[in-house]
């Protein structure tokens, strides 16, 4: 499948000339800050685990967790888009994989995003709809739909810029326990960057661009095909 006309049009209108260069530089700075925040936090976790006689099992190419539901912020989505523009083969692969993912997971994910944006618009606390989120996440995992960024051999095509949700998730159990059909839940930790690092990352973009999470593949496709219009519509 070729690159849809809508992707070409957005790319030309919003990522060319000085505006495009500024966006790319911004994405590079954001990624460097994010990597540093994760590196520091992982280092701390590794030392704590070592003291407790445990070790992180996660490795590049290990991908049972890529069958689970993933969200990302608009700020992270823009970084992924920038990465895809610089990696044409991965952009093509995503555009090819996306319709299959959308056909299977789209309905669950659209409902999920609506619930989240309605809650945000009305100031509903997360606790009030946590049960619905849990049901939707279980439903998604049961479909065993691989992330559209998984390559044939099971690697992550956007590993260098994968969302925080993927990068901070660590298991200390055998990887098989992370599979959606595993009968035992793995022992996991989230490598959450400290408050100052989170504040620094949030301040990189316009207000709101780091605050709201959306279904990651659908958001990236929306940014690719509709650009700023997608952001305006999603964030109100």
Distance from C-alpha of 177 to C-alpha of 65, rounded to nearest angstrom: 9
- Residue 160 near residue 60, CB atoms below 8 Å: no
Task: Rank residues 166 and 218 by Cβ distance to ligand SF4 and give the closer one.
Answer: 166
Distance from C-alpha of 112 to C-alpha of 10, rounded to nearest angstrom: 26
Task: Rank residues 56 and 119 by Cβ distance to ligand SF4 and give the closer one.
Answer: 56
Task: Rank residues 128 and 185 by Cβ distance to ligand SF4 and give the closer one.
Answer: 185
Q: How far is the CB of 82 from ligand SF4 (least distance, A)?
A: 15
Q: How far is the CB of 200 from ligand SF4 (least distance, A)?
A: 23
Question: Where does the chain show beta strands of DSSP type E?
Answer: 71-73, 169-171, 188-190, 213-215
Q: How far is the CB of 221 from ligand SF4 (least distance, A)?
A: 13
Task: Rank residues 37 and 147 by Cβ distance to ligand SF4 and give the closer one.
Answer: 147
Phi, psi of 53 (to 5 degrees): 75, 25
Task: Rank residues 11 and 64 by Cβ distance to ligand SF4 and give the closer one.
Answer: 64
Please give the residue ranges that form the binding site for ligand SF4 (CB under 6 A). 57-58, 62-66, 70, 147, 149-150, 156, 158, 162, 166, 169, 171, 175, 178, 186
Q: Which residues contact 213 (CB under 8 A, 6 or more apart)?
A: 71, 72, 73, 116, 165
Task: Rank residues 102 and 120 by Cβ distance to ligand SF4 and give the closer one.
Answer: 102
Q: How far is the CB of 94 from ligand SF4 (least distance, A)?
A: 10
Each as own residue / partner, the long-range contacts of residues 58-63 (CB below 8 Å, 24 or more positions apart, any chain) are 58/169, 58/170, 58/171, 58/175, 60/155, 60/156, 60/159, 61/153, 61/154, 61/155, 62/175, 63/146, 63/150, 63/154, 63/155, 63/156
Q: How far is the CB of 234 from ligand SF4 (least distance, A)?
A: 19
Q: How far is the CB of 72 from ligand SF4 (least distance, A)?
A: 8
């Amino acid at each position: 499948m070729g690159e849809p006309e809508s992707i070409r049009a957005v790319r030309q209108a919003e990522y060319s000339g000085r505006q495009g260069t500024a966006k790319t530089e911004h994405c590079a700075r954001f990624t460097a800050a994010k990597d540093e925040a994760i590196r520091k936090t992982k280092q701390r976790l590794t030392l704590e685990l070592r003291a407790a006689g445990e070790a992180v099992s996660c490795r590049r190419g290990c991908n049972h967790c890529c069958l689970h539901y993933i969200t990302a912020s608009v700020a992270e989505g823009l970084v992924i888009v920038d990465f895809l523009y610089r990696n044409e083969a991965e952009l093509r692969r995503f555009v090819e994989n996306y319709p299959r993912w959308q056909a299977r997971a789209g309905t669950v994910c659209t409902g999920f995003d609506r619930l989240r944006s309605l809650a945000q618009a009305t100031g509903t606390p997360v606790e009030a709809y946590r049960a619905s989120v849990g049901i939707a996440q279980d439903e998604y995992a049961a479909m065993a739909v691989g992330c559209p960024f998984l390559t044939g051999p099971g690697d992550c095509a956007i590993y260098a810029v994968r969302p925080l949700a993927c990068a901070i998730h660590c298991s200390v159990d055998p990887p098989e326990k992370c599979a959606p059909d595993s009968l035992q839940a793995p022992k996991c930790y989230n490598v959450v960057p400290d408050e100052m690092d989170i504040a620094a990352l949030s301040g990189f973009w316009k207000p709101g661009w780091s605050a709201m999470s959306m279904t990651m593949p659908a958001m990236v496709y929306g940014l690719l095909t509709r650009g700023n219009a997608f952001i305006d519509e999603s964030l109100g």
